[in-house]
């Protein structure tokens, strides 16, 4: 598709280049950390660490934490458990709510592979323990009696400051069988309950369309077409878009500190990297027009091919719907990201993108707990930013005035470190395990006074003690 875009813009000076001879490098694959130095010479379409951050398990961890401390603002993400770490919590929740239905996704899965609906714990017995288990939204908004979700595209056009744009185009992916509330009889009917295109394209009921603008019955549609169907059915497009924009702003706010931290690691705290990134975000709308964030994809597909799976002799053709949507996203993301930071900040909208976040105009200043924790993590890391903390750097916290008392001494910090690193995949203290360590320190510091109801206030107090002493 890139070659099509280049050919289309030849008159404006677009051309293929090799090496660092161009000014934009578009990679279809994740770029290794060691190769991000290229962003000092040429603009890259990959922000370091984004693949890890958008991993199902990592996304679940961060959004669960934000919802724990800011439940009123971060209520757009279905209740989620990370297995095996939170298996006991999941069992406890299921025992209290036996009728609740969950979707279980393998943490490393893609394109719908291995997704199952979970009604009872025994449904998980034959599957991998490495799962993200997410509560099923059982009252989705329906069109033509079918469930659907949206693939939206967020452009992170700059990192310092984080500037984000939402594309007006996207894809609506429809189930291929009419929706019915889940029962034991229809629970395994993936064409009714799962909106994944990679699953539904296998259905004999899959409907291919070449219509990009007007109302149609395709199983994959452009947003331009979808909004017309939404309004014809009597729903408010503007209300849905306003709700979606709010979710995207909070999502970017939650990701912002970690995006900037990974950037600091890659470029050693300097601002000489030129990176942008297009995220694919999957949203489900319920009957109350509330958007639910299902998943983030750091490497959304920009494939524009369509294969007719009902005819084994048929050749793959170009899907006009995919081309219509994805060409706009790719072309306009390049144009926006090539603007200077000052012009990006001043750009409310450009072609198909609308600015939704710039780290300055949004009233999230009372939700800076995780930014403060990351600030401490970076300070302990030292001048050369690292993705992990060693034990010796971590126990420096014990030297801060006010961080030891009769309940917690320096030796406790070693124990807390060893306990926290067991949560990470590589037995090192990364940022998520550091958050857990800060929570454990706070509980010990306030032994006899600590309450989980006021956990956030206690942790905020711990953070202030550390920040004033470092």
Q: With contact defined as beta carbons under 8 Å apart, do 269 and 48 qualify?
A: no
pLDDT, one tens digit per residue, over 24-70 is 989 888 887 777 777 888 899 999 989 888 888 889 999 999 999 99
Quick one: pLDDT at residue 361? 67
- SS3 of the chain: helix, strand, coil, percent, to 5: 40, 20, 40
Which band of pLDDT confidence, cut at 50, 70 and 90, is reported for residue 470?
confident
Are residues 333 and 347 in contact, defined by beta-carbon separation less than 8 angstroms? no
Dmax over CA atoms of the chain, in Å, equals: 76
pLDDT, residue 268, reads: 78
Question: Which DSSP category does 182 fall into?
Answer: -
Span 406-425, mean pLDDT?
91
Position of tokens 């719907």?
321
Q: Spell out the residues 6+ positions from residue 70 whose beta carbon is closer than 8 angstroms to its own.
A: 367
Q: Region 151-158: what's the mean pLDDT?
A: 97
Considering the chain, tell me which residue range(s) the CATH 1.10.238.10 domain(s) occupy.
368-469
**C-alpha separations of 133 from 78, 142, 190 in Å:** 10, 24, 17
pTM for the full model? Answer: 0.94
Per-residue pLDDT at 316 = 84
What is the assigned CATH class of domain 79-136?
alpha beta
Q: Is the peptide bond before 84 cis (omega within 30 degrees of 0)?
A: yes
pLDDT in tens, 277-303: 999 999 999 999 999 999 999 999 999
Which part of the chain is CATH 3.30.470.20? 1-75+140-363
Phi-psi region of 111 (alpha: psi -120 to 50; beta: other; left: phi over 0): left
pLDDT for the residue 423:
73
Confidence band of 109 (pLDDT split at 50, 70, 90): low
Q: Find the range with the poorest average confidence among 42-46, 63-67, 111-115, 372-376.
A: 111-115
Highest mean pLDDT among 81-90, 122-131, 417-426: 81-90
Average pLDDT, the chain: 91
Strand locations in 175-302 (E): 220-222, 277-285, 291-297
Helix 56-69 vs helix 237-267: crossing angle, to nearest 10: 110
In CATH, what number does 368-469 get? Answer: 1.10.238.10
Locate 454 and state its tokens: 């006021």
Report the chain's C-alpha Rg in angstroms.
24
Measured in whole angstroms, how far is the alpha carbon of residue 247 from the centre of its chain? Answer: 11
Distance separating alpha carbons of residues 66 and 72, to the nearest angstrom: 10
Does 425 or 221 have the greater pLDDT score? 221
The CATH architecture annotation of domain 1-75+140-363 reads: 2-Layer Sandwich (3.30)
Please report the pLDDT score of residue 127 as a whole number: 63
Nearest-10 Cα torsion for 294, 296, 302, 303: -50
H or E, element range at 325: helix 320-337
Average pLDDT, integer, range 357-375: 85
List, by residue range, all CATH 3.30.1490 domains of the chain. 79-136
pLDDT average, residue stretch 374-396? 88
Is pLDDT at 22 greater than 80 in this prediction? yes
């Amino acid at each position: 598709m890139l070659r099509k875009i280049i050919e289309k813009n030849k008159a404006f000076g677009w051309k293929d280049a090799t090496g660092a001879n161009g000014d934009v490098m578009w990679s279809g694959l994740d770029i290794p950390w060691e190769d991000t130095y290229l962003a000092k010479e040429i603009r890259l379409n990959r922000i370091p660490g984004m693949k890890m951050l958008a991993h199902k398990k990592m996304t679940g961890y961060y959004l669960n934490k934000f919802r724990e401390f800011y439940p009123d603002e971060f209520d757009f993400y279905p209740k989620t458990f990370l297995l095996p770490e939170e298996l006991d919590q999941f069992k406890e929740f299921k025992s209290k709510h036996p009728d609740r239905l969950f979707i279980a996704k393998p943490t490393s899965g893609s394109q719908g592979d291995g997704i199952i609906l979970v009604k009872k714990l025994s449904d998980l017995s034959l599957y991998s323990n490495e799962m993200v288990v997410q509560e099923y939204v059982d009252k989705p908004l329906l069109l033509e009696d079918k469930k659907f979700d949206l693939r939206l595209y967020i452009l992170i056009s700059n990192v310092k400051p984080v500037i984000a744009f939402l594309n007006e185009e996207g894809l609506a992916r429809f189930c291929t069988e009419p929706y019915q509330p889940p029962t034991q009889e229809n629970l395994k009917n993936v064409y009714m309950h799962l909106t994944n295109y990679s699953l539904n394209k296998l259905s004999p009921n899959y409907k291919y369309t070449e219509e990009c603008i007007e109302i149609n019955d395709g199983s994959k549609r452009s947003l331009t077409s979808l909004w017309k169907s939404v309004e014809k059915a009597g729903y408010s497009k503007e209300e849905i878009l306003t709700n979606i924009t709010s979710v995207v702003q909070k999502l970017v706010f939650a990701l912002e500190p970690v995006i900037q931290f990974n950037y600091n690691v890659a470029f050693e705290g300097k601002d000489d990297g030129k990176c942008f990134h297009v995220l694919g975000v999957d949203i489900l709308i319920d009957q109350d027009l509330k958007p639910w964030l299902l998943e983030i994809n750091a490497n959304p597909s920009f494939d524009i091919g369509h294969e007719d799976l009902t005819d084994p002799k048929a050749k793959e053709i170009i899907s006009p719907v995919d081309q219509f949507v994805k060409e706009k996203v790719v072309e306009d993301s390049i144009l926006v990201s090539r603007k200077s930071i000052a012009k990006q900040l001043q750009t409310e909208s450009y072609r198909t993108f609308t600015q939704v976040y710039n780290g300055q105009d949004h009233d999230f200043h009372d939700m800076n707990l995780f930014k403060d924790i990351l600030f401490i993590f970076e300070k302990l890391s030292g001048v050369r930013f690292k993705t992990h903390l060693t034990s010796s750097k971590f126990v420096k916290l014990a030297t801060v005035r006010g961080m030891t008392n009769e309940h917690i001494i320096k030796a406790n910090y070693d124990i807390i470190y060893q306990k926290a690193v067991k949560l990470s995949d590589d037995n090192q203290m990364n940022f998520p395990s550091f958050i857990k360590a800060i929570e454990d320190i706070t509980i010990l510091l306030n032994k006899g006074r600590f309450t989980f109801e006021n956990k956030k206030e206690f942790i905020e107090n711990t953070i202030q003690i550390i920040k004033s002493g470092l």
